[in-house]
Chains A and B, each alone.
Chain A
Amino acid sequence: MFHTLNKKVSIFLILSGIFYLVLSFGLPSYEYVPVDADIVPIGLGIVLIILSIILYFVKDQEKKENDDRISKSELPVILGVIGFIILYIFFLEIIGFIITTVLFLFICSLFLGYKKHFINAIISLSIPILIYLLFDSFLQIQLPTGILPF
């Protein structure tokens, strides 16, 4: 089973290596530059392809159960969190750091199954405000204010 996975990964990597090589060969070269910008990328592309070919034939010594595998029931949860992160990033500069972070913390924790709404609300409100004050006043780093006037 894992052996096949190695082969699949190896083929994907060989194709990536070829793509990278094509891009590398497309880099411009200059007449009076002794060593051009494409030399290292070309070398790396070739090394990746060689290593991937070796990987194709290598058998893993341990074929233990992989603990990192996500079960089918967990997949929607992970995809949901990724969706929340995308929304968080998208609205960060538009609505502002404080509001998006408060919403993200509360909704994400709720989505993951945290049922103590009062504690969730307090933490979701206090942490972003504390971080904002720390960055704004102490570190002089301005986080996006968005629709808030300060």
Chain B
Amino acid sequence: MDVFQGLAQGFQVALSFEGLLFVLIGVVVGTVIGMIPGLGPITAIAVMIPITYGMDPAIALLLMAGVYYGAAYGGAASSILLNAPGVSEAVATTFDGYPMAKQGKAGKALAIAAIGSFVGGTISIIFLSFLAPLLSKVAVSFGPPEYFALMLMGLTAIASLSDGSTVKALIAGTIGLMIATIGIDAQTGTPRFTFGNPHLLEGIDFLVIALGLFALAEVTALIKNRKEKMDSMHNVGSLKLSKSDYKELAPTMGRQSVLGFLVGILPGAGGTISSFLGYISEKKFSKNPEEFGKGSMRGVAAPETANNAASTGAFVPLLSLGIPGSGTTAVMLGALIVLGIQPGPLLMTEHPDVFYGVIASMYIGNILLLILNLPLIPYLAKILLVPRQLLISLVIVFCIIGVYAISFSTFDLYLLLAFGIIGYLMRLIQFPAAPLLLAFILGGMMEQAFRQSLTISNGSLSIFATSPIAAVMLAIAFLSFLVPIIKSRKSGKKEQAENNKIA
């Protein structure tokens, strides 16, 4: 099946009445969740997973795509209207978005964010439509050693590119892999680290970890700021852009779509890096860089276009290799597995309807986001006026239902609470949670690929060196593991020397 045929099939599902309805629901719900500071796309998707049980996988995916795009846009809206970026991807949007809102141009900034997201998303999806099948074809020839090396490379790249300390990110990743070893070993049937508890035999569900580490841990921040009253901008102003505005913004959006997509494909370098990179590069391109930070339209367009393009770019490794490149795509992978779909090189040949359905759903999600959310935003912004005290209790209830509906076990709910506390403690000691979740999701597959490789070679590790592809990827993994550690040692020494100088 070629790309066009596949897309035509995908669009048939996406353009059905049911398809459109669920994308619409997804976009609105996603926007609302994304607007609430702290609750980003990861939480939005995780909270929606239980609702997709029993749904046709293609329709469920449409709903998720809507939630995904909606949440990204919701984050931008709270950045512009409140100077409160819901997620790190939306931080760069506040630099010029909020000043624009203060000048009474909130509507214009929101329109730029929506159009930028649309352009970035759409151009990125076109690249994705053609690149993912190509990559799938290459990946079909991968054996267990190549797969293991690929996943390890992805994981170390994520750790080294994540915010903050690399060692901490690598430790978080290792702990994620350790948690993945809990349960019955798939190859020998040996129960591992279950302490005789039957609830642990099947391992820990990813939703328990995702909701605990992200949503429940966020509740502590919400509790701390519960007395803060959000003053939403009442006067949003006109949403219209003039012809000259479009003319000014078109090159920015074009450039940032390509840049964002390329950044998105790299494992670990997701929305946050691309949005900052987009903002900085656009400032460098600009003839009037002094306008940036004071309400420049390009300052809003660049990060918004780039981060949406990157979010879509992250689907390339997910769909073609079965490897998530970011925390959000890791949750998407979990959601797909819950629906009985295993992304990877075989997805395109075995389930072309799902493969192209996902891509088609992105086109539709993007378009609906643009048509629907622009006029709805002033009304949706009222959600920010919901008292925090009520919101906190509701978030907790949604987390609990989400986990209970998947396992029907109160044991998992206690685990959820435990991961919520662990998530909070991780924030306190500045350990990133995304590498832990990602490693946990990849853990089972990585171990399987590693042990299959060793079984083929009768226990010899040389199998990883004899495959050139695996060897190169392992070398990259090793470097991305080593370089940041050496760098941080060096900068630590430098800092110490400077401190000594000052003293």
A and B part of one assembly: yes
Residues of A within 8 A of B (CB): 5, 9, 13, 20, 23, 27-28, 30, 33-37, 39-41, 44-45, 47-48, 51-52, 54-55, 57-61, 66, 68-70, 74, 77-78, 81-82, 85-86, 88-90, 92-93, 101, 104-105, 108-109, 112-114, 116, 120, 123, 127-128, 131, 134-135, 139-141, 143
B467 within 8 A of A: no
Contact assessment for B495 and A66 in the assembled complex, using a CB-CB cutoff below 8 Å:
no
For the complex, would chain B's binding face be called helix, strand, loop or mixed by DSSP majority?
helix
Contact assessment for A40 and B174 in the assembled complex, using a CB-CB cutoff below 8 Å:
no
Q: Which of B51, B53, B397 has the most chain A CB within a 10 Å cutoff?
A: B397
The smallest beta-carbon distance between A79 and chain B, in angstroms, is 11
Residues of B within 8 A of A (CB): 50-51, 53-54, 165, 167-168, 170-171, 174-175, 177-178, 181, 185, 187-188, 190, 192-193, 219-221, 223-224, 226-227, 387-390, 392-394, 396-397, 400-401, 404-405, 410, 413-414, 417, 421, 424, 427-430, 447, 450-451, 454-455, 458-459, 485, 488-489, 491-492, 495-496
Contact assessment for B223 and A81 in the assembled complex, using a CB-CB cutoff below 8 Å:
yes
Given the complex, which residues of B lie within 8 Å of A92, measured CB to CB?
Answer: 400, 404, 410, 413
Contact assessment for B188 and A33 in the assembled complex, using a CB-CB cutoff below 8 Å:
yes
| A69 and B224 alpha carbons, distance in the complex (Å) | 9
Contact assessment for A58 and B492 in the assembled complex, using a CB-CB cutoff below 8 Å:
yes
Contact assessment for B178 and A114 in the assembled complex, using a CB-CB cutoff below 8 Å:
no
Using A113-B227, A141-B54 as known contacts, say yes or no to A89 and B410 having CB atoms under 8 A apart: yes
| A70 and B219 alpha carbons, distance in the complex (Å) | 12
| A20 and B165 alpha carbons, distance in the complex (Å) | 24
| A43 and B81 alpha carbons, distance in the complex (Å) | 49
Q: Which of A52, A113, A135 contacts B389 (CB 8 A)?
A: A113
Given the complex, which residues of B lie within 8 Å of A85, measured CB to CB?
Answer: 396, 400, 417
Contact assessment for B393 and A23 in the assembled complex, using a CB-CB cutoff below 8 Å:
no
The smallest beta-carbon distance between A74 and chain B, in angstroms, is 6
Using A58-B488, A88-B400 as known contacts, say yes or no to A135 and B428 having CB atoms under 8 A apart: no
Contact assessment for A44 and B177 in the assembled complex, using a CB-CB cutoff below 8 Å:
yes
Using A44-B174, A58-B167, A81-B223 as known contacts, say yes or no to A35 and B404 having CB atoms under 8 A apart: no
Given the complex, which residues of A lie within 8 Å of B181, measured CB to CB?
Answer: 40-41, 44
Q: List 28 A-B contacts (CB under 8 A).
A: A13-B171, A27-B190, A34-B454, A34-B455, A34-B458, A35-B455, A35-B459, A36-B188, A37-B185, A40-B177, A40-B450, A55-B168, A68-B221, A74-B224, A81-B392, A85-B396, A88-B400, A89-B417, A104-B397, A108-B393, A109-B392, A112-B393, A113-B389, A114-B389, A120-B390, A131-B397, A135-B401, A143-B405
4 A-B pairs besides A44-B178, A89-B414 with CB distance below 8 A are A37-B185, A68-B220, A114-B389, A139-B51
Contact assessment for B387 and A114 in the assembled complex, using a CB-CB cutoff below 8 Å:
yes
Q: Which of B167, B220, B410, B495 contacts A55 (CB 8 A)?
A: B167
Q: Which of A40, A48, A51, A128 contacts B447 (CB 8 A)?
A: A40
Contact assessment for A66 and B430 in the assembled complex, using a CB-CB cutoff below 8 Å:
yes
| A61 and B451 alpha carbons, distance in the complex (Å) | 38
Contact assessment for A109 and B389 in the assembled complex, using a CB-CB cutoff below 8 Å:
yes
Contact assessment for A141 and B429 in the assembled complex, using a CB-CB cutoff below 8 Å:
no
Contact assessment for A108 and B392 in the assembled complex, using a CB-CB cutoff below 8 Å:
yes
The 10 closest A-B pairs by CB, nearest first: A114-B389, A112-B389, A37-B185, A59-B492, A108-B393, A37-B190, A68-B427, A89-B413, A35-B454, A35-B451
| A47 and B428 alpha carbons, distance in the complex (Å) | 23
Using A81-B392, A114-B387 as known contacts, say yes or no to A47 and B174 having CB atoms under 8 A apart: yes
Q: Which of A61, A66, A70, A104 contacts B488 (CB 8 A)?
A: A61
Contact assessment for B224 and A60 in the assembled complex, using a CB-CB cutoff below 8 Å:
no
Contact assessment for A109 and B171 in the assembled complex, using a CB-CB cutoff below 8 Å:
no
Given the complex, which residues of B lie within 8 Å of A86, measured CB to CB?
Answer: 414, 417
Q: Which of A51, A69, A89, A141 contacts B428 (CB 8 A)?
A: A69
Q: Which of B177, B404, B491 contacts A61 (CB 8 A)?
A: B491
Contact assessment for A48 and B404 in the assembled complex, using a CB-CB cutoff below 8 Å:
no
Contact assessment for A135 and B405 in the assembled complex, using a CB-CB cutoff below 8 Å:
yes
| A94 and B167 alpha carbons, distance in the complex (Å) | 45
Q: Which of A35, A69, A92, A135 has the most chain B CB within a 10 Å cutoff?
A: A35
| A88 and B323 alpha carbons, distance in the complex (Å) | 37
Contact assessment for B401 and A131 in the assembled complex, using a CB-CB cutoff below 8 Å:
yes
Using A41-B192, A85-B417 as known contacts, say yes or no to A48 and B174 having CB atoms under 8 A apart: yes
The smallest beta-carbon distance between B386 and chain A, in angstroms, is 10
Q: Which of B54, B221, B394, B430 contacts A105 (CB 8 A)?
A: B394
The smallest beta-carbon distance between A117 and chain B, in angstroms, is 12
Given the complex, which residues of B lie within 8 Å of A139, measured CB to CB?
Answer: 50-51, 53-54, 405
Given the complex, which residues of A lie within 8 Å of B226, measured CB to CB?
Answer: 112-113
Given the complex, which residues of B lie within 8 Å of A44, measured CB to CB?
Answer: 174, 177-178, 181
Given the complex, which residues of B lie within 8 Å of A74, measured CB to CB?
Answer: 223-224
Contact assessment for A30 and B188 in the assembled complex, using a CB-CB cutoff below 8 Å:
yes
The smallest beta-carbon distance between B190 and chain A, in angstroms, is 4
Given the complex, which residues of A lie within 8 Å of B404, measured CB to CB?
Answer: 92, 143
The smallest beta-carbon distance between A78 and chain B, in angstroms, is 6
The smallest beta-carbon distance between A85 and chain B, in angstroms, is 6
Contact assessment for A48 and B54 in the assembled complex, using a CB-CB cutoff below 8 Å:
no
Contact assessment for A93 and B193 in the assembled complex, using a CB-CB cutoff below 8 Å:
no
Given the complex, which residues of B lie within 8 Å of A82, measured CB to CB?
Answer: 417, 421
| A81 and B496 alpha carbons, distance in the complex (Å) | 42
Q: Can you name the residue of chain B whose Cβ is closest to the Cβ of A53?
A: B167
The smallest beta-carbon distance between B338 and chain A, in angstroms, is 13
Using A34-B454, A81-B223 as known contacts, say yes or no to A48 and B171 having CB atoms under 8 A apart: yes
Given the complex, which residues of A lie within 8 Å of B221, measured CB to CB?
Answer: 68
The smallest beta-carbon distance between A67 and chain B, in angstroms, is 8
Given the complex, which residues of A lie within 8 Å of B188, measured CB to CB?
Answer: 30, 33, 36-37
Q: Which of A23, A61, A123 contacts B495 (CB 8 A)?
A: A61
The smallest beta-carbon distance between A114 and chain B, in angstroms, is 4
Contact assessment for B429 and A59 in the assembled complex, using a CB-CB cutoff below 8 Å:
no
